[in-house]
Structure 1
Amino acid sequence: MRRLLVLVALLLAWSAMPARADDISASGRGVVRIVTIAMVNDEVVGFGHGSGFAVAPNRIVTNAHVVELASRYPDNVVIGVVPSEGDKSFQGKLIRIDKARDLALIEFTGVRLSPLTLFTGTPAEGDALIALGYPGNVDVATVRSAADFIRPQSPVRSQGGFAGFRMLEGTSVLLHTASIARGNSGGPLLDRCGRVLGVNSAITRADEGDATFAFAVAGKELAAFLAEAKQPMGQVSVPCTSVEEQIAAERDADEKARAEADATARSNAARTESERQDAIAQARSRSSVARENFMAGAAVMLVLGALALGGAGLLLSRGSQREAIWVAVGGGVLMVGSVALFVSRPGFDESKVMPVPKTTDAAALAESARGRLVCTLVPERSRITVTATDKVDLDLGEDGCINGRTQYAEAGTHWQRILVPDQEQTVSVLDYDPASSIYTHTRYLLSSEQMSKARSLRKGVPLKTCSPDQAKRAELATQQQSIRTALPAVYNEKLVYRCAAAAEGPPTAATK
């Protein structure tokens, strides 16, 4: 027993070097070495090791043959789980094994790992695949003592191609050319985005110069095994898109949006000018009719005034002086009115003509960018690697208060919040653009060292709830910028949603 305690005490380690900021390195932080130590009468009688990967923060999948001794002799075999980061290793417990599929599920406590995501689609023949694990031939060259097997270190990666599906002893397997060896058993086979395609389990013999091929238990077998164990695992079906391809697609989309905006602006300008010319023509026509009416009225009044003066003269010649005076005055008034009416006829100045604004849906669009919103994923603008969320409900309040509890800060014309959780190796940048009603969730899968730095920066953010105080929001924006500066230049996942006003009724889901 004393020797067992000594071996357990050796589960201390040096701090691993930070993994590279790419999808495979991010997945590698959820890969572990599995060590089995067999004891009889306090004597070590057997030692083995393989690989595994997290399907939950505290649960690991590996091959059944890696932990077969533990299943046969549970009281005499200790299972060690050695993460790729940190300074400790942990004891595991076998909770399910399927020898037919060559899969096993191990539970442990003491640390939370980043679970990997299962890709449920089908790779095409020739697609690039990556194997992660701890090959024994590398250990033979580098290990100097038993302690090296239980010292955390990053997994070894190797790349190959997908060569098709096969059946191996009744189990569906992927045939591939990534280089693996003893010790890789139980490690994940990944696509370029770091999603699990299968569980590496065996290799062919290279007799007389034959090429070596490897087998991995297919993802559908893994999904069935986990379903039987009632163990959830994240799954996505969207094909892998590299960051470079996504950035190029975003650039093309931005250029297309700018071109469409320019075309819309030109169309609107042409329509406005056409409407103005129509308004000018209508105004000129109305002005012409009005001028003609004024001139006709003036002519009629002039004729009537002349007739009145003539009548006054006739009355005067007949001795009706009083009546002649009144008729003459009336005629004079008519003639003066005729002159005034002619002089006051309306003119035409086209510079003062403005078209009547037409009712548009701009107000409706502006209104739809506030209040309760339903945001739907736009797959062609997203890079999906570990998350499968088709819809997000938002309740956009005043001053960037989201869902009544989370304060977003101004970032130009956008509202933005950066989330740094305590229990996950992920930093999320949440961004909402009121002008376009676009909501974006960008995820960075970070190493332990990077997360520690981000968490230390987060401690300086005092604003935890919604606030109408603009000064506090400005301080939040400044502090978030310091976190943003510490993030890698390239993200791991970007989910883009288009938002619209929600139907009446209570929200069905919410985001932070």
Structure 2
Amino acid sequence: MARLLLFVLLLMSLTAPARADDISASGRGVVRVVTIAVVDEKVVDFGHGSGFAVAPNRVVTNAHVVELAARYPDNVVVGIVPSEGDKSYEGKVIALDAARDLALIEFKGVNLPTLALYTGPVDEGGSVTALGYPGNVDIATARSAADYIRPLSPVRSEGVFSGRRTLTDIEVLLHTASIARGNSGGPLLDPCGRVVGVNSALTKSEEGDSSFGFAIADTELAAFLRAAKQPYAAVGVPCTSIADRLRQDSDADARAAADAQNAKLDAAGKVSAEREQALVKARADALRSSENYMAIAAVLLVLGALAVGGAGLLELRNERRMAIWVAVGGGTLFIAAVIVFLLRPTGEVTLPDLATAAAMPVAVNSEAALGKMVCTAVPERSRVTVSSTEPVAIDWGAAGCMNMRTQYAENGSKWDRILVPSEEQTVSILQFDPATRLYSNSRYLLSATQMDAARKIRSQVTLKACSPDIAARANLSTQQAAIRAALPPYPNEKIVYSCKAAD
């Protein structure tokens, strides 16, 4: 009973804050960057800005945020304060580009969720979001210096993209999202939470003029990371709503089902027409055969009548013995005529119902092994925010065994497996449909608290390797349903792959 109560409490703790918010998901990879200058064991300067993770242990920020640390590494400490957890970590500047106003910091102690760079076009007037730690908010809320190194979620502000400009020979994005000192180095995001720029400066507001923000453009950020030999995630597909994408998937499935049904109906119509032609021909053949039978019966009837007449003449001549034999032969001919007439074809022909057979669906054996396949992403059916869309190689074995080691559970005619990793802050629902050979990965980007709760539920899963035991797979399906029920209504990503047999 106590174990069941614990399970229910874990389920409630995961469900309560469940939201599919791309900006919040990206915010978990945003950090506060703090610099503390110390001379003769005395703090002589304190500064802070914002940054975001491009790798689990590396963050990007503005060069002017950590300029002192790069110039005086022995006297200036760089601190990385994540948006979650209860600790801050010491960092080290490993790359700096003063012209682009960008810097790369490395740290140890925790792995952060990484943000992806959007490499597609940004439409003027499109929505953008700034994330970071504006200093005016800190001044209003901070009670002590310790508040600057205490993990807090970043502040978000909404605006629109107003165009590309050049600032000191560097391409920048002009936008209306509200930023302040302290936002420097924080990301400017598109609605899917992908980085389109790095907030760096803002215009001065004089006599009531509106203020605008400047962000180092995506092109400059990409060039900086390449020069620093820092790999990064890049996504070029346009941002779409996950609800719209799932609705489009549903419509596509409905259209595919309708096309398949129409194909069956077309095939059935073709078979029906052929069947009618066969019936007409068969009836004509039967009619001709019936006429032949009737002609034979008429001949036999005439011959029988002649034989009876001949028997009468023989009787008149007193040739009784011969008369009897002729009369018997005539009667036999009469009987044969009747039998031939009764056995004649009627013209009614019955053929198998080929149209119905053509319309019957072909059964698919979902338990069968399909072997090694290469699965390629289908962009028009996918929604990508941070993940790679490189082809995926799979080996589909019998009874839902993936790659000879991971057991999937039945979900109708499809197979599901929910992955809850120990390191990443992501829950993935993997699904494979043997009938269509579509493989999908629905990814939920969760908070640290949600992930801890999901991992505790995952610990209840006992089936770790492939198994032919139906009961064990049914138990896996039940356990996975508990995790699925606790997830947000929509995933942050859904990548759909089309699989074909490997060469």
Moved more, 438-447 or 17-26: 17-26
- 1:140 maps to 139
Task: Report the CA distance between 1:259 and its aligned residue.
Answer: 5.3
- 1:204 maps to 203
Distance across 1 between alignment mates of 2:316 and 2:274? 63
- 1:421 maps to 421
- 2:130 maps to 131
Q: Deviations over 1:54-77 (max 9, x none)?
A: 111111111111111111111111
Distance across 2 between alignment mates of 1:150 and 1:479? 40
Q: Deviations over 1:192-220 (max 9, x none)?
A: 00000011111111123222111111111
Structure 2: which amino acid aligns with 1:391? P
Q: Answer yes or no: is 1:233 the counterpart of 2:240.
A: no
Task: Report the CA distance between 1:106 and its aligned residue.
Answer: 1.1
Q: Deviations over 1:390-449 (max 9, x none)?
A: 533333322112232221111122211111111111111111233433322111100011
Task: Report the CA distance between 1:156 and its aligned residue.
Answer: 0.3
- 2:389 maps to 389
Q: Answer yes or no: is 1:74 the counterpart of 2:54.
A: no
Q: Answer yes or no: is 1:114 the counterpart of 2:113.
A: yes
Distance across 2 between alignment mates of 1:203 and 1:369? 60
SS at match of 1:386: coil
Change (3 A) 1:179 1:343: same
Q: Answer yes or no: is 1:193 the counterpart of 2:188.
A: no
Q: Confirm or deny: 8 A CA contact 2:375 2:497 kept in the other structure.
A: yes
Task: Report the CA distance between 1:463 and its aligned residue.
Answer: 1.2
Q: Confirm or deny: 8 A CA contact 1:194 1:385 kept in the other structure.
A: yes
Task: Report the CA distance between 1:21 and its aligned residue.
Answer: 3.3
Moved more, 422-431 or 489-498: 489-498
Task: Report the CA distance between 1:232 and its aligned residue.
Answer: 1.1
Q: Deviations over 1:106-144 (max 9, x none)?
A: 111111111001100111111110000001111111111
SS at match of 2:100: coil
Q: TM-score, normalised by structure 2?
A: 0.87
Change (3 A) 1:217 1:320: farther
Q: Answer yes or no: is 1:490 the counterpart of 2:466.
A: no
For residues 53-92 of structure 1, the aligned pairs below 5 Å read 53-92=52-91
Task: Report the CA distance between 1:349 and its aligned residue.
Answer: 5.0
Task: Report the CA distance between 1:366 and its aligned residue.
Answer: 7.6
Q: Confirm or deny: 8 A CA contact 1:201 1:216 kept in the other structure.
A: yes
Task: Report the CA distance between 1:326 and its aligned residue.
Answer: 7.2
Change (3 A) 1:330 1:224: farther
Q: TM-score, normalised by structure 1?
A: 0.85
Moved more, 321-330 or 185-194: 321-330
Q: Confirm or deny: 8 A CA contact 2:284 2:347 kept in the other structure.
A: no
Structure 2: which amino acid aligns with 1:67? V
Q: Confirm or deny: 8 A CA contact 1:369 1:434 kept in the other structure.
A: no
- 1:160 maps to 159
Greater RCO, 1 or 2 (C-alpha within 8 Å, sep 6+): 2
Moved more, 334-343 or 39-48: 334-343
- 2:466 maps to 466
Q: Deviations over 1:129-178 (max 9, x none)?
A: 00000011111111111110100010000111111111112211111111
Q: Confirm or deny: 8 A CA contact 2:265 2:359 kept in the other structure.
A: no
Change (3 A) 1:471 1:293: farther
Q: Answer yes or no: is 1:446 the counterpart of 2:446.
A: yes
Structure 1: which amino acid aligns with 2:485? T
Change (3 A) 1:268 1:359: closer
Task: Report the CA distance between 1:243 and its aligned residue.
Answer: 2.8
Structure 2: which amino acid aligns with 1:203? L
Distance across 2 between alignment mates of 1:402 and 1:50? 46
Alignment gaps of 5+ in structure 1: 1-16, 506-512
Task: Report the CA distance between 1:294 and its aligned residue.
Answer: 2.7
For residues 218-297 of structure 1, the aligned pairs below 5 Å read 218-250=217-249, 252-253=251-252, 256-257=255-256, 260=259, 263=262, 267=266, 270-271=269-270, 273-297=272-296
Q: Deviations over 1:461-501 (max 9, x none)?
A: 111221111000100000000000110112111122334x4
Change (3 A) 1:212 1:326: same
SS at match of 2:69: helix
Q: Confirm or deny: 8 A CA contact 1:279 1:355 kept in the other structure.
A: no
Q: Confirm or deny: 8 A CA contact 1:369 1:435 kept in the other structure.
A: no
Moved more, 214-223 or 478-487: 214-223
Distance across 2 between alignment mates of 1:66 and 1:122? 28
Change (3 A) 1:398 1:338: farther
Change (3 A) 1:369 1:208: farther
Q: Confirm or deny: 8 A CA contact 1:70 1:77 kept in the other structure.
A: yes
SS at match of 2:165: strand
Task: Report the CA distance between 1:277 and its aligned residue.
Answer: 3.8
Structure 1: which amino acid aligns with 2:28? R
Distance across 2 between alignment mates of 1:390 and 1:333? 88
- 2:213 maps to 214
Moved more, 262-271 or 216-225: 262-271
Structure 1: which amino acid aligns with 2:442? T
Q: Confirm or deny: 8 A CA contact 1:62 1:104 kept in the other structure.
A: yes
Q: Answer yes or no: is 1:30 the counterpart of 2:25.
A: no
SS at match of 2:178: coil
Percent identity between matched residues is 60
Change (3 A) 1:328 1:200: same
Change (3 A) 1:326 1:45: farther
Distance across 1 between alignment mates of 2:169 and 2:471? 66
Q: Deviations over 1:357-415 (max 9, x none)?
A: 88899769989994444433332222221223153333332211223222111112221
Change (3 A) 1:108 1:355: same
Distance across 2 between alignment mates of 1:315 and 1:37? 145
Distance across 2 between alignment mates of 1:326 and 1:236? 105
Moved more, 24-33 or 235-244: 235-244
- 1:378 maps to 378
Alignment gaps of 5+ in structure 2: 1-15
Structure 2: which amino acid aligns with 1:219? D
